[in-house]
Structure 1
Amino acid sequence: MKRMRVAVVGGGIGGLTAAGLLAKEGHAVTLFEGGATLGGKARALSCEGLTLDTGPTLLTLPELVRGTFAALDAVDLLPPFIELEPQCAYRFSDGCRFTAHKDLERTAWSAGELRPSERRGVRSFYDEAARIWRAAGEPYLEAPFEGLAGFMARVARRGVGAVVAGMKLPTLHDLAVKHFKTHHLQQFVGRFATYAGASPFEASAAFSLIPHIERAYGVHHVRGGIGALVEALGQAVHRQGVTVRLGVRATFSRDAEGYRVGPLGSAEPFDTVVVNADPLRSARRESGPLALSGFVLLLEVEGRPALPHHTVLFGGDSAREFSELFRGQLAADPTVYLCNPSATDATMAPPGRTGVFVMVNAPPLPQDFEAAERAARAWELNAERAKGQMFDKLHQHFPELRGRMRIVGQRTPVDLAEQGAPGGSIYGFLPHGRFGPFRRPRIRGGTPGLFFAGGGTHPGGGVPLVMLSGRFAAEMALAHLRRET
């Protein structure tokens, strides 16, 4: 194949993956990244020996990640993965607790401590989640989503039962109520909608494939954090000969010869473009509802308190919490997620100190420019309120932390918006409704030779799926370049 010029706009995980794979096929690839470092939302903060991820904090589908590095001839660069056991500790507003394990019977035993009948609920829930994975999840990830016809053909290969099951999917909350009697485990199931910035009361039960994936393939920590994975991916891309231009905000436009890509006033010609940015604006869909954003605190804690690696502290009323968030308000009683990576990986913090990532869901900024400006200014007050809520909940569940925590960093929806996320939404498109996941913007852009990668496009958010979007984008770009030669 003739050596062609390829531009990748954005140096997140999806863009890096696409750039490396396209360069490996012999093309001249230039990656433009507006920031000073690679990684997009998957960055890390280092502070006096403390390391904390500022974006994603866990890894699932490890073989997909290993396969990506193998495709880049870079397995030697890959940091070790540590499978977590237990996977996550859950605490509820009434003091009850539940722990999720990879082993189904250990999870069922923990659920039985809430109510004995919930042991059967755990088994039946995960059994149905596995069926949903086989019927819809596997075909969704097999190939780029180009329309329902191709997807349904892949589903049909699993049999008529898979098609029928897919057409009957309720909401994720309805699925939780079907299998569990306690509000505790209904909240546990509902949490997985937030992996896509959605509400369990509006999102499809298809999101139950996420807890199935965690149980079937494990929840993993990358030694050194997700930031170490990004660094390794950057090294792999350099090894393939990609030209990386940091601190360059590139635009792209199509002309008769192909594409012009680069900073305003000095764009260069390219044959195809992969854009590692949310595609809603390009698809002229930016006025639609957005998925949730988030507010993150990065904390330094004196000593080494016995905090689990992953903990979720639920609010008391999920229905009210999601109603408030999707009305554009901070929740009055939010669910708080915290990650203590040094519980597993001593390299993340020096002796005698602990780093903790703490996050609450937050509404995205309004799409209207003037309203967004007002909301951005209001975040100074919102941040103080959210901090108070987070510290109150941490003190409630972990009183030993009182007086031992210091904020070393934070991330608001305004920060995410400045990185290019529409309205500061982490995932962009809001996948509510039975067919919500299938309305996600596609990888193939609106003009020949334009492709998208990242959490805002198919197949969605999370490190492995973003890598998969980069692989799909590279495959589709290669097919386009073959037709052009």
Structure 2
Amino acid sequence: MKIAIIGGGVGGLMGALFLTRQGFDVTIFEKEQKLGGRLTFVERDGFRIDEGPTIVLLPEMFRKLLGEAGISDDEYELLLCDPLYTIRYPDGKVYTKYPDIERQAAEVERVFPGEQEGFLKFMAEGRERFEIGSSTFLEHSFVKKSDFWTPGNVKKLLKLKPQQSVKKLMSNYFKDERLQLAYTLQALYIGGDPFNAPAMYSLVPFSEHEHGVHYLKGGYGSLIPLLEKELRKRPNAEIHTGCPVENIVVDDDVVKGIETKEGFQAFDGVIYNGDFPSITSVLPGQKEKEFVPSSGCVLLYFGLDKVYEDVNVHQFFIGSSYENHMKNVFSDKKLPEDPAFYTFHPSKVDRSLAPEGKGVLYMLVPVPAGSTVDWASETEWIDQIIERAEQLSFPGLKAATEWMEIRTPTDAEAFGLFKGGSFGIGPTLFQSGVFRPQVKPYKTQGLFAVGASVHPGGGIPIVMQGAKLMAEQVQSEFISEGSGPRWK
């Protein structure tokens, strides 16, 4: 059985590893000159820093999926971030998160007296919700909608309180708005609005304490050469970079193959690993569907002549009005005046990322997706954020900067991300679970999909899990019989 994968991101590479293990002949077609999609590095003058994802969540799932794909634990190293991260509020209050419950409960009581009981209740109830979310929704695809809408599933779904926002759910546990914020901002990890994202996404802040926040030694982008190396060992795998696919060829609602500039190539199945809304660009006749994009990001990358030893690897800095910031991003589609931002300084724990004595720094600011902002005219706005970082945590930052690069939603859209959103389609209620595009998105035989915009959603381990679900779907539909596929 011959399978083509359009796109060599994490979903495509993991899908290829699963499928080649199942005996399929797999060919990856990647439009860029290198694999990885948004999981790659900014590299310059001996410096290397992750361009996209930075936070490794769900380490057990991460290890398990890599093992099932054929990659052993001794081929990579996950470092636990302890503390997990720091949140700095505009009133000067600082709240630190830890990977164990006892220390965290003490920190809650120290910074927010009287809130400890609510935190312990959040963790206790979070365990039940996490088990439900993982076993019922994360580990299953819903190609058949009837597989989702069972009485048992509906009962479990209601326990995740999808009708509430993350913000509303956290107000049940915490009185202080600042502490509510500390357990809702994680919706932004996948480009969601904490004030409107469904409460099921409260599983993320729970998981941070329960399973830890980790760092992949060498940078998250080092996962890609690891996957590529394993795939190139396999005789039933091929990889073509710099080779965009122009069309998926379909006849009578059955996939026949793909077209590149080299012409037609026959395949029994095709997997789309681009950002899903873009599938219509290679699938003639498929009606476009309306999707809501995730938030955009302004990303700043720095090569520094020093390492800041006294800061945590991950930090969040909250602006004067977090609610207004989110409203600007998701409703008003304009730049916030005093935004929250995130910093990532991996050089504190990994000296391999820069020349000796030097370091790297990454800054992320949530901004509107789309083309409503003229980024070329916003240099002063970016300078103000750098100045705030310098004042609050990185003294002498400007003087220590050897180089800086900037990415905006305009760059993200040019790369192929839907409307410049950084995280696939947004995690709204009606773009989650059964409502999200599935690993078999249409009735077309032999057509599949994987990636951040496809169920179960965004985040590297979740996309890896989606690749497993996709491979299982391919396996269940193809039954080898003679020279061709038979469809169940």
State TM-score, norm by structure 1: 0.91
CA distance in 2, matches of 1:42, 1:458: 19
How far off its partner does 1:163 sit? 5.0
CA distance in 1, matches of 2:389, 2:22: 50
Supply the AA of the counterpart residue of 2:353.
M
CA distance in 1, matches of 2:132, 2:20: 35
How far off its partner does 1:285 sit? 5.1
Q: 1:62 to 1:315 in 2, by over 3 A?
A: same
CA distance in 1, matches of 2:67, 2:380: 46
CA distance in 1, matches of 2:384, 2:436: 33
Is 1:397 paired with 2:392? yes
1:325–1:363 Cα contact (<8 Å) kept: yes
2:84–2:213 Cα contact (<8 Å) kept: yes
- Who is 1:17 aligned against? 14
Supply the AA of the counterpart residue of 2:223.
L
Match of 2:339 among 334, 340, 344: 334
CA distance in 1, matches of 2:163, 2:388: 35
CA distance in 2, matches of 1:347, 1:291: 32
Is 1:411 paired with 2:407? yes
How far off its partner does 1:125 sit? 1.8
Is 1:7 paired with 2:4? yes
Q: 1:167 to 1:210 in 2, by over 3 A?
A: closer
Q: CA RMSD in A?
A: 2.2
Alignment of 1:62-211 (within 5 A): 62-75=59-72, 78-146=75-143, 149-151=146-148, 153=150, 156=152, 162=156, 164-166=158-160, 169-211=163-205
- Who is 1:34 aligned against? 31
Percent identical pairs in the alignment equals: 26
2:8–2:29 Cα contact (<8 Å) kept: yes
CA distance in 2, matches of 1:480, 1:359: 41
Alignment of 1:308-347 (within 5 A): 308-326=312-330, 327-347=332-352
Supply the AA of the counterpart residue of 1:442.
Q
Is 1:356 paired with 2:352? no
CA distance in 2, matches of 1:269, 1:210: 42
Q: How many residues align?
A: 469
Match of 1:380 among 376, 380, 383: 376
Supply the AA of the counterpart residue of 1:400.
P
Q: 1:51 to 1:318 in 2, by over 3 A?
A: same
CA distance in 2, matches of 1:398, 1:74: 38
CA distance in 2, matches of 1:284, 1:189: 39
Supply the AA of the counterpart residue of 2:383.
G
Is 1:289 paired with 2:292? yes
How far off its partner does 1:47 sit? 2.1
- Who is 1:236 aligned against? 230
CA distance in 2, matches of 1:333, 1:258: 50
1:69–1:78 Cα contact (<8 Å) kept: no
Give the match's secondary structure for 1:400.
Answer: coil
2:161–2:198 Cα contact (<8 Å) kept: no
CA distance in 2, matches of 1:408, 1:77: 34
1:203–1:434 Cα contact (<8 Å) kept: no
Give the match's secondary structure for 1:29.
Answer: strand
CA distance in 2, matches of 1:435, 1:279: 12
CA distance in 2, matches of 1:25, 1:275: 19
2:255–2:447 Cα contact (<8 Å) kept: no
CA distance in 1, matches of 2:162, 2:264: 50
Moved more, 37-46 or 424-433: 424-433
CA distance in 2, matches of 1:183, 1:284: 43
Q: 1:164 to 1:44 in 2, by over 3 A?
A: closer
Supply the AA of the counterpart residue of 2:462.
L
CA distance in 2, matches of 1:219, 1:313: 18
Alignment of 1:219-234 (within 5 A): 219-234=213-228
Moved more, 194-203 or 283-292: 283-292
Supply the AA of the counterpart residue of 2:211.
Y
CA distance in 1, matches of 2:323, 2:204: 21
CA distance in 2, matches of 1:434, 1:137: 19
Q: Which runs of 5+ in 2 are unaligned?
A: 280-285
CA distance in 2, matches of 1:145, 1:316: 42
Is 1:259 paired with 2:253? no
Supply the AA of the counterpart residue of 2:43.
S
1:286–1:422 Cα contact (<8 Å) kept: no
How far off its partner does 1:271 sit? 0.6
Give the match's secondary structure for 1:451.
Answer: strand
1:277–1:456 Cα contact (<8 Å) kept: no
- Who is 2:282 aligned against? none
1:77–1:236 Cα contact (<8 Å) kept: no
Is 1:470 paired with 2:467? yes
2:165–2:198 Cα contact (<8 Å) kept: yes
CA distance in 1, matches of 2:25, 2:334: 47
Q: 1:24 to 1:165 in 2, by over 3 A?
A: closer
State TM-score, norm by structure 2: 0.90
2:162–2:198 Cα contact (<8 Å) kept: no
Q: Per-residue CA shift, 1:72-94, capped at 9, x if unaligned?
A: 32316731111111111111111
How far off its partner does 1:310 sit? 0.5
Give the match's secondary structure for 2:244.
Answer: coil
Alignment of 1:406-485 (within 5 A): 406-433=402-429, 436-446=432-442, 447-482=444-479, 484-485=485-486
How far off its partner does 1:289 sit? 2.4
- Who is 1:304 aligned against? 307
CA distance in 1, matches of 2:430, 2:159: 12
How far off its partner does 1:61 sit? 1.7
Q: 1:474 to 1:60 in 2, by over 3 A?
A: same
Q: 1:423 to 1:168 in 2, by over 3 A?
A: closer
Structure 1 segments (4+ residues) deviating >4 Å: 283-286, 434-437
How far off its partner does 1:67 sit? 2.3
Q: 1:79 to 1:361 in 2, by over 3 A?
A: same
2:129–2:203 Cα contact (<8 Å) kept: yes
